[in-house]
Structure 1
Amino acid sequence: MELRGILQGLTHEYHGGDKPVDYYLNIGGYRLPLNEWLGSELTISFLGEKNCIACGRKTNKTFNSGYCYPCFTKLPENDLCIVKPHECHFDLGTCRDESFGERYCMIPHFVYLAVSSDIKVGLTRKHNELRRWVDQGAIRAIPIAELPTRRMAGELEFHLSQFLPDKTNWRKMLKGDVKEIDLLAMRDEVYGHFPEQFKAFQYREDEWVDIAYPILESLDKINSKTLDKEEQLGGRLIGVKAQYLIFEMGVFQVRKHAGYQVEIKAKTSA
């Protein structure tokens, strides 16, 4: 099987229980079902061109996982407040696109606890939590607060980051080097750090979400591979987790390479 086109990020479908997430590699409008190719040979070749995933223009360098520089500096999804939501400036009238802000920021958000490399605090739009947790490689997660806007959720997350990490150690996450954590007990402990103005927004759900990933084998050492250094990479595909393809020779972060023109070849192992 051969495919050519612009690479996009991985998409996935969560089925709950012990069933692994179904992953898809998106290229040129086609969805390659990756779970079906686990254990097979998969190669990715860079064809020498990069295109902006927003406007399509050719670019020598991509920013923020697939954008050309003009789209990086102008589009609302690339504003600094997306990664620092407590600095949301919608109410100041300086949002890059007010309609975007109304759709994505001025709506209910969850603050959550997740276990990926360790326990961490994060936020996501309500009803988007499963997508967010899978993209981070979380194996377990639970919402702990529901806030009416992204800024309020960001302010609470920023406060709680004094007591908990808000970043994932991607190497530990991919190795599956994670300690057993009682999320309900941790949630009750974290509630003790809630500022008074946020206590009314506590969200009490007595069951967490467990997430399983399609992984055949684990790697003892995590080597990151990039098409900026190797024009072709791949090998036997042994797993998929977060936005990473896991090969015997190393791991490939797909979303980081969004916008790259590539050729994908897959064949079953002999």
Structure 2
Amino acid sequence: MGTAQYQLPIGNKLLNMNDLIGETIQLEFNGQINCANCGKATNKSYSQGYCYPCCQKLARCDLCIMKPETCHHHLGTCREPNWGLDNCFTPHVIYLANSSGVKVGITRKSNIPNRWIDQGAVSALPILEVDSRLKSGQIEVALKDFVSDKTNWRKMLKNEVETIDLKQVRDELLPKVQLLVDELGAKTLNNETLEINYPVVEYPSKISSLNFDKTPLISGLLKGIKGQYLILDVGVLNIRKFGSYNITLTY
């Protein structure tokens, strides 16, 4: 698919971050955090951008988002039933990806390839499609007996990634969960592997994590972007972690 393109929302505009690679940038946190849902000021960010009350009432902040196999919409206990219908009862894809080694994951079909870019995957392959988030989670749990569902973010950022034949891995894994695939009515996919490049001029040899809560002013040479991270000469910054922080970017 070529090189991943990154944009950062600044006010009402989107800034093309790829254009800033090789430049010195400065990011300054002014101490204010506004909830991504209600907009109210909050002393602490929960679930990457929400105040505590919203984090407790929004379905998108519930445990089942991290553990889709625990979806409880059918029990009538979803925090936001209509939101659940719109987001969890849509086509979902079970995939294999290589970000720091092969892993299994799930995502809404409409979120491809953004989900893979978000994880810093260098290659990804959809293997199954189902009609709900719950079913995708159930299959993912079964596959986790044979393959990891985690990314080693340090290896991903150092680009310590071996070439993996994801189709071969798929062909080895699917027979092991075929009974469940049939039971849930999952559709087997025969897609091509997607290769993803990232706008990075130099990967770090050591990882030093930057944090606005500890260092409100971060300045350095932007060497690249991969996954959720800005790679600077002074360290790496997980920009997603600081959603809803009020930041001034100077370049």
TM-score (norm 1): 0.90
2:226 paired residue number: 241
Residue in structure 2 matching 1:75, options 44, 58, 65: 58
Task: Specify the SS of the correspondent of 1:233.
Answer: strand
What letter corresponds to residue 211 of structure 1 in structure 2?
Answer: I
Aligned residue in 2 for 1:157: 140
Instruction: Determine whether 1:187 maps to 2:170.
Output: yes
The structure 2 residue matched to 1:109, chosen from 78, 87, 92, is: 92
Tell me what 2:247 maps to: 262
Aligned-partner Cα distance in 1 for 2:196–2:92: 21
In the TM superposition, 1:58-137 aligns within 5 A as: 58-137=41-120
Unaligned runs of at least 5 residues, structure 1: 1-15
Give the superposition deviation at 1:243: 1.0
Return the match for 1:43 from 12, 20, 26.
26
Residue among 195, 204, 219 paired with 2:189: 204
Between the two proteins, the alignment pairs up a number of residues equal to: 249
Task: Name the counterpart of 2:17.
Answer: 34
Aligned residue identity for 1:136: Q
> Contact 2:29–2:245 at 8 Å: present in 1 too?
yes
Query: 1:178 aligns to what?
Result: 161
Give 1:143's aligned amino acid.
Answer: P
Unaligned residue ranges in structure 2 (runs of 5+)? none
Q: Does 1:25 align with 2:11?
A: no
Q: CA deviation at 1:102?
A: 0.8
> More helix per residue: 1 or 2?
2
Distance 2:110 2:34 in 1: 30
TM-score, L = length of structure 2? 0.96
1:111 CA drift (Å): 0.4
- SS of 2:28's equivalent in the other structure is strand
Does residue 226 (structure 1) correspond to residue 203 (structure 2)? The answer is no
Aligned residue in 2 for 1:216: 201
Does the CA contact (< 8 Å) of 2:129 and 2:189 recur in 1? no
Backbone CA RMSD of aligned residues: 1.1
